Amino acid sequence: MSAKKTRHLKLWVAMLLVSATLILGHGFYRDLSANTEETYKGLKLFSDVIELVQKNYVDEVDTQKAIEAAIQGMMHSLDPHSALLPPDALKELQIDTQGEFTGIGIHVTMRNNLVTVISPIEGTPAYQAGIKAGDKIIKVDGKPTEDLRDAVKRMRGPKGTTVVITIIRKGEPEPLEFSLVRDVIPIYSVKAELLKPGYGYVWITNFRETTTDDLIEALDAMEQDTTPLKGLVLDLRDNPGGILNQAINVSDLFLESGEILSIKGREGQHTKIFRAHSNETNRDYPIVVLINGGSASASEIVAGALQDHKRALILGTTSFGKGSVQTVESLRDGYGLKFTIARYYTPSGRSIQAKGVEPDVEVPQRTLSDNEITGDRMIKEKDLKNHLDAEPGDALHEPVVQHDEPEKEADVPEDPPLLKKFKAKNSPLDRESLMNDNQVLRALDILISYDIFKNLKNG
């Protein structure tokens, strides 16, 4: 190995050690000082391996990529949510928490190894061009789509630039090509509908910087309608989480006092308690929160807080079980490090890590294709490799299982004008879909029944 390459390798190892010390802070430094010799032996072993591989491996090795992979392996060995974020991944994470991006305006997922459109966003280039839910995107600018993140990255770009996507659509014999001009796409994490007069529905898709403000605006629109709001269905199904303070603020909207969340790190680090505050608007109407195996992290914080305070009835299936808190620290050259700093606990002291929030009323979701009631078969936190364990001694809720089929509600309300911004039109859950969703209808039945019994009692 040349002297130049050797110096380059030693510089990388030194940078790795210094970066780790700066990122992990005083606790790491104290542990390092207590066992410096053993730590440096490990780093020397690492250096020896890289040097041998770089000198003798059958093909030339990119040292930087090899060290990135080593750091990534170290982070993944800790838990499933800790990771080194290359510049592109860090930018994507930042976009996901902000209120807009530039692209074509579609929600996509990976189904059967194909990039599949969940729904176009109304008013965007994709919507105007006729992209439909269920379309399979097989190429972007002529290059096959094999990875979801890569496909999303290539569809995004500066405003005014053109991207060509190739799709296959059910019923079409040949692939279809669409030439789309990218534009600024607003991101709304809150969608809202009136299920019937006096009964609202809000779907929070994830927790972004604007989520609480958008939720307040949507609630105000429904609360100021001619019919007072008698009950709310808060849908957190398939909500993967997001910004911690937004989950706390959303919970605070429906609580007047008491603890919302506590987080506890190692040896007292990062330990905090978040409490509710009195609100100017009194939102004392009953709430049913919907959760499933896709409800994780921030959405579990909201569900757990409202459940522990007896402020909402939780309906659906057990949530994902991600009861840990991550932070992202910036590194040199645009890299970031995401790592777990604490576990969080609901107001009653429950850790839902690898357990999830259990519903008060268990209602498995109906499979729309065959009209069957099925269990929740999603992968949970407890199924992930290297998942953190919860602390022992937490009591689990015993859900009441219901499989009844509610009747379809035919009463169609007139939408308040201010609610138009948040309507779930052209999303996977428009009003027609909602009124065929057995979990939503079960929640609506509960709210209506509560109002009937309350009136009987008062009468």
User: What is the DSSP secondary structure assignment for residue 400, as one 8-state letter?
Assistant: E
Q: How many CB atoms lie within 10 A of CB 236?
A: 32
Q: Which CATH architecture has domain 100-186?
A: Roll (2.30)
> Given this model, what pLDDT does residue 312 score?
98
pLDDT tens digits, 176-188: 999 999 999 877 7
Residue 345 pLDDT: 97
What pLDDT sits at residue 18?
Answer: 45
3-state secondary structure of 40: helix
Q: Tell me how far CA of residue 124 lies from CA of 32, 107, 135, 193, 279, in angstroms.
A: 52, 11, 16, 21, 36
CA–CA distances in Å: residue 246 to residues 97, 270, 332, 358, 456: 10, 18, 28, 22, 38
The C-alpha atoms of residue 327 and residue 148 are separated, in whole angstroms, by: 24
Task: Give tens-digit pLDDT for 339-382.
Answer: 999 999 999 999 999 999 999 999 998 744 434 444 455 567 77
Q: Any idea where the domains of the chain sit in the sequence? A: 3-78, 100-186, 190-458
Q: How far apart are CA 342 and CA 339, in angstroms?
A: 10
Cβ neighbors of 382 (< 8 A, separation 6 or more) are: 321, 354, 355
Given a cut of 50, the residues of the chain with pLDDT beneath it are 18-30, 32, 367-375, 392, 395-396, 403-410, 426
Which residues are the active-site residues?
A: 297, 308, 322
Between CA 242 and CA 209 the distance in angstroms is: 9
Q: Look up the CATH architecture of domain 190-458.
A: Alpha-Beta Complex (3.90)
Which residue type is seen at 72? Q
Residue 185: other Cβ atoms inside 10 A: 19
- Provide the CA 344 distance to its chain's centre, in angstroms: 16
pTM over 0.85: no
